[in-house]
Structure 1
Amino acid sequence: MVDLSGRTVLVTGGARGVGLAIARRCIDAGAAIIIADILAEEGARSAAELLASGAGACRFVRVDLGDPASIDALAVNIALTEGRIHGLINNAAIATNVGGKPFEEIDIGLWDQVMRVNIRGTWLVSRAMSPLIHDGSGRIVNMASDTALWGPTNLLAYVASKGAVLSMTRSMARELGARRIGVVAVAPGIMKNEATNYVPAQRHHEYETRRAVQGAQYPEDIVDVVAFALTEGALALTGQTIATNAGFWFK
C-alpha cells in the first residue's frame, strides 16, 4: 500500500479522466491534492467530491497551460497557500481530436496548439513549480504516452509532443538530481475514457488484443504506478520511462 501521508501533490489536468483518477488515488493514499485545470466547473466539482470523500485535503485552481501568465499565477497561488509541494503530476495535455490525418494534412494551427500545451506547458509548469518542490523528497511525474515508443500513424502531432516529454524527463532528471528530486515519465497505452472516445474502434481493438494481458485498460489501472513514483523510495527510478500498457509494447 502506497503511503503519501503528509505529502502535497499538484495534478494538472485533474478535472476528469486520467488526471482525476490519479488525484483520487493520491488522496486515498493520504496526500493533500491540488487540482489544476482549464475546466473550471468540472475541476471545482471534482475537487469538492474528493474533499467530501474525507480522505484528505483537496482544492481546485484554474490554469491555462497555453498562457504563461496563468501558470505563473498558479505558482504564486500555491506558494501563498501551501508554501511547498512534494509532488507534481504533469498530466494536462491536448489529446482529443488531434489524430486521424496523415502528417502531410495536419493543420498548422492544431500542431502549434498541441506543442504549446503538451510541450511548452509541461516545461513552464515544471519551471514555475521547481522552487516550491521539496529537495530530497520532491517527485515529478510527466504523463507521456506509449505512442511515442512505437509511432502509430495519423497521430504525428500528439506522438511528437509526447516524445518530447520523454526527452524532457531525462534532462530534467539530470538537472534536478543535485536536489535529489526524482523525475519520471509514465507512458500509458490507450485507455477507455472520454479523451479517447474519438479513437477509431480498430485502434482500441488492436491494443486490447495485442497486449500481453489482453483487454481494455482504464485510468484506474495505472494510478498505483503513478502513486508509487511520488514516494521517497522511487528516487532510483529517476529519468526512466515507465510503460504502463499491460504489455502492448516492451521497452
Structure 2
Amino acid sequence: MATPDQARLLSKKFDEDTISPSLKRLRSELSPEDDRATFIEALKSDSMLQRAVADIVQTNSGSVTQSADKIVDVMYDGIVKQIGERLGALEARLAKVEAKTEDLQRYNRSFNLRFYGFEEREYENVKDRLIDFFNTHMNLKLNANVIENCHRLPYTNQRQKKPRPIIARLYSRPIRQLILSSLGQLKGKKLNITVVEDLTPLALARFHRTRDQFEDNEKKRVITRNGRIFVRNADKSLTLVAE
C-alpha cells in the first residue's frame, strides 16, 4: 500500500501527460517566420548586439561571409532567450485561460450525476426511473422536480452491449450531494448500478491515469470529490492529485 508521501508523488508524474493540447500546439506552431521576426527585432532594437555584429564584420575586413559563424554565435543566445521568453509568456497566458475554463466546466458539471447499469427499456421515462431508484433503493423522498433534465448518453463504441449511461442535471447541488452521500444505502443490494460525478474530460483522464498507478485491489483508493481527483491514504486522509 502506498504511503501518503508516495501518493503525493503521483501528483508530480503527469506534467507531460496532462499538458493541454493547446499548449502542445502553441509549442509546435512557432513558425520560421516567428524566428525570423525575432532576429530582425533583436538587430533593430539591441544596440549592443548591433555594435557586436559591426565589430565582427570590421574585424574580418568587412566580409559578412567570413563573419557569419561569429555573428550567429553572438546572436544565438540572445535570440534563443527572447524566443523562450515569448513562448513562456504565451504559455502562461494560455494556461490561465485554460485553468479558468476548466473551473467553469467543473462548476457547470457540479449539478450533474452519471448513472451506469440501468437496463434500457422501450418507451422508458428516464426521469421517473431515477426518482423511483432514489426513493426505493436509497431511502430518499424526492420528486421529479429535483431533476432539471436527464437522458441517455450515446454509445462511445457502437459494439458496446452494456446499457447506455444516464446523465442527470439537478436543480440543486445540495440535492446532488444528498444523493452521493446516500450511496451507502446501495451496499449489499447487488443492483449493479453505479452513480458517479460528471467529470470534465481532463479530470476523467487524470482519474484513469491515477488508477493505473495502482494494483487492481488498490484502485478503489482513487476517488473524486467535487470534480477533483484524490488518493485515499492508509490513515484515511486524502491527497489531491495535482491538476
TM-score bucket (shorter structure): under 0.3
Say which one has the larger Rg.
2
TM-score (norm 1): 0.22
Which of 1 and 2 has higher RCO (CA within 8 Å, sep 6+)?
2
TM-score (norm 2): 0.23
Q: Which has a greater percent of helix? A: 2
